[in-house]
Amino acid sequence: MTSALSVPTDWVRVRAPGKVNLSLRAAAPGPDGYHPLVTVFQAVSVYEDVVATAADDITVSMTGTGDQIVPTDSSNLAVRAAQLLASRAGISDGVHLHIDKRVPVAGGMAGGSADAAAALVATDELWGTGASREDLLDLGRQLGADVPFALMGHTAVGTGRGDMLTPAMVVGEFHWALAFAEHGLSTPRVFSALDDLRGDEVPESDPDSDIELMQALRTGDPHALGEALHNDLQPAALHLLPDLGRTVQTARDAGALGVVVCGSGPTVAALGRNRAHAQVVAASLTLAGVARQVVTATGPVPGARLLV
Ligand code: ATP
């Protein structure tokens, strides 16, 4: 019989965070159709928990936010992650992945990428494949542009498709109210709306654009960070979902230091002065009825990690 203190060897639990983009700047799409990005990610305390249990095949189940609308076949990002690691490591073991979802589906917070990152870390541990950090980041990059950041966590600057990462220095923590919308937004649709809105007027990239933001992070100054938040995709998300304008305005009226759409949206992130103030902003958003659900979160937090 297993004693209460013994460590089980046939299952592991891994936690991976959702993210907000403190800044996101998109250039004109290249010949491959992708928009080169410069983005500053921050991992926040809204988590996906994945329990990986030894099994014959690779399967997935889900509970929590949007569990009904996410596929459970081999298009599920967690399944793809496990399949990729198995094929790279040349092993035929299976795994059952159970995901407790808290990050909104298609919410711009990279919940699917968090699941993929968690599945990589969990199966590496369960199967004893001994992948290095670099190996996992490389596998993550093949699964999706946001997967490497879900592995790394904390705060980082992403370039390329957002998958080439440089950690950013941050002092202290920041407190967010996050408004989850009723429905999701498709990322390709938002980029296409961005192209339509811009026409030929694509802004020149300026390497100094985020100097104030990086300084705000280094000094732990939420007021300066609030002023520096920026997302090129925000007008496109608002164009596709005009109701989001009310969410943004409600957070501003509640005194948020800055309000920004997360990634391709529609989640809206509002920065509080401190934890209590983020709760006040969250209460105002809830009372105004402008979101399906409002939560508070802190950032930065670590990337995908084993829970013991
Ligand atoms: P993106 O990473 O494309 O910007 P997002 O952060 O807005 O997306 P996600 O919830 O990560 O939103 O995923 C978007 C799509 O990926 C959904 O339409 C969903 O069907 C598909 N998907 C595949 N696997 C998963 C998963 N494990 N969790 C969530 N979505 C998944």
Over residues 271-281, the pLDDT tens digits come to 999 999 999 99
- Catalytic option among 19, 124, 210, 221: 19
pLDDT at 225: 98
Q: How many CB atoms lie within 10 A of CB 151?
A: 26
Give the Cα-Cα-Cα angle 28, 33, 37 (nearest 5 degrees): 50
> Which mutation among 24, 62, 105 tests ligand 1's pocket best, with the greatest number of atoms within 8 A of CB?
105
Judge whether 19 counts as a catalytic residue.
Answer: yes
pLDDT grade for 6, boundaries at 50, 70 and 90 = very low
The arithmetic mean of pLDDT across residues 126-140, rounded, is 96
With a pLDDT cut of 90, the percent of the chain lying above it is 92
Work out the pLDDT band at 68, boundaries 50, 70, 90: confident
| Amino acid sitting at position 265 | G
Q: Looking at per-residue confidence, does 209 or 83 come out higher?
A: 83
Q: Of ligand 1's atoms, which has the minimum distance to the CA of residue 108?
A: 7
Separation of alpha carbons 121 and 136, rounded Å: 8
Per-residue pLDDT at 308? 78
Write out residues with Cβ below 6 Å of ligand 1: 70-71, 75-78, 105-113, 115, 146, 187, 263-264
Sign of the CA dihedral running 177, 185, 300, 85: positive
Distance from Cα 203 to the centre of ligand 1, integer Å: 28
Residue whose tokens read 């795994």? 95
Q: How far is the CA of 146 from the centre of ligand 1 (A)?
A: 10
Start-end of H helices in the chain: 77-89, 111-127, 133-143, 147-152, 187-198, 211-219, 222-228, 234-240, 244-253, 275-288
Catalytic residue among 49, 115, 124, 146: 146
